[in-house]
Chain A
């Protein structure tokens, strides 16, 4: 079936088989490989993207359900060459090592930070329950999300 949706700010029209997952559509057909697949049980969160501003696991979202939706993947987060404050925070706080979990972590954290300008470490840790990282031990991810949240809200105020 044919669907139309907004992807990273641009309109997309594609034919999707009914069983196709959003992660497959993005990675295999639209060439957006920043969205990663780290499990087959919907647990690791490497595949998180935004659909209508909410973070969802693209490995368990059917592409066919996207008609009319607004989708943002990690590739669409930065404003041109300027990193999104959350991306910048992950860089500055060393919130990534191998980078495999990073796109999902950042997408997930951006949604969290929208509603949590000044989160405690416990709140961040609780929110990230559905995002696995095998490298960092999470500690610097927590600092990244705190710094990223603060920067997002500072930017919003400044704007």
Chain B
């Protein structure tokens, strides 16, 4: 059975049936008796003083149940939205945490900042009433770009933070890095922008809340990747509700990508309003509203320098980054461009000295937080771009320079100069396989063939490592996290031997119902169809930290393996009694407890029944029942790594970049379900290519208006923009968790932007181009080609 359904099997997904038949249960699908509809009134200004809000006329409109503002929240003692992961900067200075009110107070700080919440019987009535809310603003100059935010005399987003700096952070050894540069034979330099993105899961965010005054209880259904954390942050810090009176449910969630792993204002306001209105209240975000209210991603401006010796060995790396935090701190804001960025700058290389400084700054834009990869794509982009620049300048083959600097396989565990200790990995093995799969040496022929059609062909390579499996609590709390990052799992064995698994992680596309079943099936020897996997409901699952940072298999799966093993331990005790053998003599394999050296055995089902019907049971020494919970706190991050190679073709007449081939070889540790891992990696690659070629979140620099506020202007990747992508896995198991898994959710977005831009730059290198900012849109590429005087002479 295990070969077909256990670890390593491409078991078809258990969750599919409800989705292909339209029976998924997403938050927007939920209807409650007497439910009212809520609509937010949002600021049209990037920065303005909020002078007054007049709701008199709106309140008199038909169907209006209530209209609420920040003053109403204040009157009820509602707190601001907390930051869960602040960091400490230079000179031990903590990151600044200005109050982030759930509905704006005093000032609005970005377009879309919510100022009022209108609840009415129907959506149409709520929208009409929202139109009638009169808000008087005194517009203020807006600061949009991170460089502008740091200029002397720049507008201050917060009056008490005149320099707009949230934190000035550093990692690494500045003196050692200076010394490395002093002895360098060559220094490569690069300035780059990591473009701002909007995550855009296909399901817009939504929330439904209701209050039962007879029990004093609150239920919130929300599109969240971590319902327990919403319960904790909202209950404890924002609404001050007792934890045992709150239930948060994240039912089917239509993609997250980090966008849904923050505690959002709307969740708290909807929950609070349901109590005020004494009606269930529903809010469903529209897509264009999502552009103005979902936390955004990336948005860095960086200068990097790489010092090399005459043979192209890396001696030192210096990186200075300015990162946008937006108009308020989102839940994990300051952690993303610091810990999840600077600590990854060693990459897969032996660079002995690294120093990185990051200034995180406030601007009048949406808050910026984690988006698939979160900090690690930015780090990989810096590193893999500057390695290519150095290789070009020194005339070294791009694969060769990487090999020359790569951490050798026998050097693991490897301590980097930026705090990480990589437990395992074989990026060199990944590289060899990727080079072979794409036929690296045959590229010249393909380039010539493209040239014969008037196209410029380029090839780009990236070798990367990332840290995921978030996170070891001991390390994370030292880095500023205000909570543990362990995971919990419960294995509930029914009297029949069927199993319900309760997970603290959350699946919103990752297929946990299948992979968690495989973990249990493998260990207990029961078929996956006898296993039900439950998550996303704080009343059913005791606790959990949710899903982000590719943690579900590495941390959640490890908790599940541990809980399952506890069940086996107790099962052996029961079986030993039933078989009149000593516990040490009882073994468990393929769903059967056996006495070694005899043909005596009991099935898992026999033991489960005995645990619930203890007619022959050691009740004096053993409790009846068979259910075990385990908490698992990892000792380290996990470190997936790999090599990606892309080929692009550029039409010099139009500047259109076409991705024509893509190969990824990833070491994500042990693979539980190859089909699902392949799907995760391909999906991630396409999202990352989206950043490299299409997607760009653009604000008007002077007004702070969002110019890319819908799918009309924000270019989401489409099916016809991609070739067949080749994904292979190259396994070195993680050394510190029971399953050997590392995580696969983010490797695609981490590696592919750098890979594709390296290919684009390669295609244009003969024009003297050494960098192209993202997205490499037709407009940008056409300009570069024409500035090089190539447009007219192309052939």
Once the chains are docked, how many angstroms separate the CA of A37 from the CA of B287? 9
- B684-711 contacts to A (CB < 8 Å): 684-687, 710-711
Task: Answer whether residue A5 sits at the interface, using C-beta atoms and an 8 A cutoff.
Answer: no
Once the chains are docked, how many angstroms separate the CA of A44 from the CA of B255? 14
Contact (Cβ within 8 A) B509 A97: yes
Task: Answer whether residue B254 sits at the interface, using C-beta atoms and an 8 A cutoff.
Answer: yes
With a cutoff of 8 Å between Cβ atoms, the chain A residues found around residue B75 in the complex are: none
Given contacts A100-B254, A138-B686, A139-B724, contact A94 B676 (CB under 8 A): yes
Contact (Cβ within 8 A) B711 A132: yes
User: Could you jot down 20 A-B contacts, CB within 8 Å?
Assistant: A32-B22, A33-B28, A38-B202, A40-B288, A74-B21, A75-B23, A91-B17, A94-B675, A94-B678, A97-B683, A99-B16, A99-B509, A103-B20, A125-B722, A128-B719, A132-B711, A132-B718, A134-B687, A137-B683, A139-B724
Chain A interface bracket (under 10, 10 to 19, 20 to 34, 35 or more): 35 or more
Task: Answer whether residue B532 sits at the interface, using C-beta atoms and an 8 A cutoff.
Answer: no
Contact (Cβ within 8 A) B22 A91: no
Once the chains are docked, how many angstroms separate the CA of A129 from the CA of B715? 12
Given contacts A34-B21, A91-B17, A134-B687, contact A129 B202 (CB under 8 A): no
With a cutoff of 8 Å between Cβ atoms, the chain A residues found around residue B286 in the complex are: 40
Task: Answer whether residue B200 sits at the interface, using C-beta atoms and an 8 A cutoff.
Answer: yes
- A107-131 contacts to B (CB < 8 Å): 121-122, 124-126, 128-129, 131
* Nearest CB of B to A45, in Å: 10
Given contacts A96-B16, A137-B682, A139-B724, contact A35 B22 (CB under 8 A): yes
Contact (Cβ within 8 A) B288 A41: yes
Once the chains are docked, how many angstroms separate the CA of A102 from the CA of B673? 21
Q: Taking beta carbons and an 8 Å cutoff, which residues of B are in contact with A?
A: 12-13, 15-26, 28-29, 31, 124, 200-204, 252-255, 257, 286-288, 508-511, 675-676, 678-680, 682-687, 710-712, 716-720, 722, 724-725, 748
Once the chains are docked, how many angstroms separate the CA of A137 from the CA of B717? 8
Given contacts A73-B22, A135-B683, A138-B686, contact A40 B718 (CB under 8 A): no
Name the prevailing secondary structure of the A interface residues: loop
Task: Answer whether residue A133 sits at the interface, using C-beta atoms and an 8 A cutoff.
Answer: yes
* Nearest CB of B to A125, in Å: 4
Contact (Cβ within 8 A) B719 A142: yes
Q: Taking beta carbons and an 8 Å cutoff, which residues of A are in contact with B?
A: 19, 27, 31-41, 43-44, 46, 73-75, 77-78, 83, 87-88, 90-92, 94, 96-103, 106, 121-122, 124-126, 128-129, 131-142
With a cutoff of 8 Å between Cβ atoms, the chain B residues found around residue A136 in the complex are: 679, 682-683, 686
Partner of A137, one of B12, B17, B508, B685: B685
Partner of A38, one of B19, B287, B508: B287
* Nearest CB of B to A32, in Å: 7
* Nearest CB of A to B610, in Å: 36
Contact (Cβ within 8 A) A83 B203: no
Known: A27-B28, A98-B203. 18 other contacts (CB 8 A): A33-B28, A34-B22, A40-B286, A40-B710, A44-B287, A88-B20, A91-B17, A94-B13, A94-B679, A97-B510, A99-B509, A100-B203, A101-B254, A128-B720, A132-B718, A137-B682, A137-B722, A139-B724
Contact (Cβ within 8 A) A39 B257: no
Once the chains are docked, how many angstroms separate the CA of A32 from the CA of B683? 28
